Amino acid sequence: MNIVTLKAFFWWCTIINGGLLILSSLMCIFLADFSYRMNHRFFSISREAFNVIVCSFVGLYKIFVIFFNLVPYIVLVIIG
State the pTM of this model.
0.86
pLDDT in tens, 16-73: 999 999 999 999 999 999 999 999 999 999 999 999 999 999 999 999 999 999 999 9
CA distances 64 to 13, 21, 40, 58, 59, Å, are 12, 10, 27, 10, 9
Residue 33 sits at φ, ψ, to 5 deg, of -65, -45
Amino acid (1-letter code) at residue 4 = V
